[in-house]
């Protein structure tokens, strides 16, 4: 995809005009060195859109945010980490109280606030730590996207952020985003926690259309452990301060906006996958030769989700039979005798399967290729002209260690 029309800039969610952010420690997390409370605010109301987990067990913030975004408007995001506010009898009330905290310090109506929580499921979340810190959080608003990105982290090892600049009709426009997520990640029409800002003037209808389409080829193509979270939320706010001609149809400006959005979401998807709990390497599965895009996506995700493939990648073992096995149970109609598989990385490329049958290859070279920290699995189904890409990570001893002691 040609991306010469844009370039990356600093600033994350504060890169677009009119946005400020903050992140502090309020006391939800025991470690005082870890931020756990974040706020993102636009100086003017925004068109807004969201996609959410399809897990039937939903976090209270998801329910409240969906209700608040029903009119396609928002102006602020408030987030806590350390507690998911899920499966609690008073969860929705606490989520609404969090929105009310924003109203109290900013005057922004509670109905225009996006609320999210992430952390341990099933623990009561008290409003007191956040109520006691909201003044400090609000006064910290500024060009502090990095602090907000840190405050939404759980077992993430690095903050995840991106921002780009491009032009629409001669006007300079920007999109910025932050994300968290390294475990319990196998989205379905959702993501982990992703917050995207933009200064493009675009209708809420077109914004929702763009986001809903985008996640199908970005965040929905990420799997770390096959578990779908209860709190997956991806929201975008666009305040129009770039001054471009309003984007209200499927014309050239909409398509350009979608490409810029896609650049950001794919980059974040790769960051999420690479930072998977305990991971030592990013795995990218690129499928081509499928009968449809849907088929290509399902095959790519099946390979990425396979525990046996992930374990083989951890051990730098070119066990290509596990790849074919995962393709076979993907639910897609494929011809096993047309499938080619190759492994690649910065150390080179090695083909291990042609027409569904193994070929001789250098095991030492394969080991070297698969020992890099970013590895590709290229699959040619030989049955069509469609393709897709999915991202995941290896399965390591540390993943079990982290999740065997998650609440401590």
How far is CA 373 from each of CA 73, 272, 275, 369, rounded to the nearest angstrom? Answer: 41, 14, 11, 10
Identify whether the C-beta of residue 215 lies closer than 8 Å to the C-beta of residue 54: no
Cα 101 to Cα 281: distance, rounded to the nearest angstrom:
40
Identify whether the C-beta of residue 388 lies closer than 8 Å to the C-beta of residue 221: yes
Report the b/e string of 47-83 with b at 16+ CB within 10 A: bbbbbbbebeebbbbbbbbeebbeeebbbbbbbbbbb
> CB-based contacts of 126: which residues, under 8 Å, 6+ apart?
94
Q: Position of tokens 């990425």?
A: 304
> CB-based contacts of 93: which residues, under 8 Å, 6+ apart?
none
How far is CA 233 from each of CA 92, 132, 241, 402, rounded to the nearest angstrom? Answer: 16, 26, 25, 23
Annotated catalytic sites, by residue?
Answer: 191
Q: Position of tokens 């499927």?
A: 250
Report the b/e string of 228-260 with b at 16+ CB within 10 A: bbbbbbbbbbbbbbbebeebeeeeebbebbbbb
Cα 49 to Cα 211: distance, rounded to the nearest angstrom:
7
CB neighbours (10 Å) of residue 128?
Answer: 11
CB neighbours (10 Å) of residue 345?
Answer: 20
Cα 323 to Cα 221: distance, rounded to the nearest angstrom:
17
Identify whether the C-beta of residue 18 lies closer than 8 Å to the C-beta of residue 12: no
């Amino acid at each position: 995809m040609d991306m010469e029309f844009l370039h990356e800039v600093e600033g994350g969610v504060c890169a677009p005009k009119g946005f400020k952010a903050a992140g502090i420690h309020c006391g939800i997390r025991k470690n005082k060195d870890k931020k756990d409370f974040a706020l993102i605010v636009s100086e003017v109301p925004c068109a807004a859109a969201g996609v959410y987990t399809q897990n039937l067990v939903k976090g209270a913030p998801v329910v409240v945010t969906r209700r608040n975004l029903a009119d396609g408007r928002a102006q602020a995001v408030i987030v806590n980490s350390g507690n998911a506010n899920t499966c609690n009898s008073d969860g929705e009330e606490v989520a609404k109280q969090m929105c009310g905290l924003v109203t109290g310090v900013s005057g922004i109506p509670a109905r225009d606030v996006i609320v999210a929580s992430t952390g341990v499921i099933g623990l009561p979340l008290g409003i007191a730590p956040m109520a006691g810190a909201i003044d400090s959080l609000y006064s910290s608003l500024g060009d502090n996207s990095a602090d907000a990105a840190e405050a939404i982290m759980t077992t993430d090892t690095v903050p995840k952020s991106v921002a780009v600049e491009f032009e629409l009709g001669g006007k300079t426009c920007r999109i910025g985003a932050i994300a968290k997520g390294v475990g319990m990640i196998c989205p379905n029409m959702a993501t982990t926690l992703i917050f995207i800002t933009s200064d493009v003037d675009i209708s809420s209808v077109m914004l929702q259309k763009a986001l809903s389409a985008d996640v199908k080829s970005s965040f929905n193509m990420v799997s770390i452990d096959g578990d779908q979270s209860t709190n997956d939320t991806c929201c975008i706010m666009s305040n129009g301060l770039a001054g471009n001609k309003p984007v209200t149809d499927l014309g050239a400006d909409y398509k350009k906006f979608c490409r810029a959005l896609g650049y950001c979401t794919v980059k974040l998807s790769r960051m999420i996958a690479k930072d998977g709990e305990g991971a030592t390497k990013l795995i990218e599965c690129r499928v081509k030769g499928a009968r449809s895009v849907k088929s290509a996506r399902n095959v790519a995700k099946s390979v990425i989700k396979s525990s046996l493939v992930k374990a083989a990648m951890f051990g730098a073992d070119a066990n290509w039979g596990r790849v074919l096995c995962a393709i076979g149970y993907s639910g897609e109609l494929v011809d096993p005798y047309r499938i080619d598989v190759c492994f690649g990385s910065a150390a080179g490329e090695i083909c291990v399967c042609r027409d569904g049958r193994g070929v001789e290859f250098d095991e030492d070279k394969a080991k070297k290729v698969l020992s890099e920290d970013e590895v590709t699995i290229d699959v040619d189904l030989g049955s069509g002209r469609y393709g897709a890409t999915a991202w995941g990570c290896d399965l390591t001893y540390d993943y079990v260690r982290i999740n065997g002691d998650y609440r401590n």
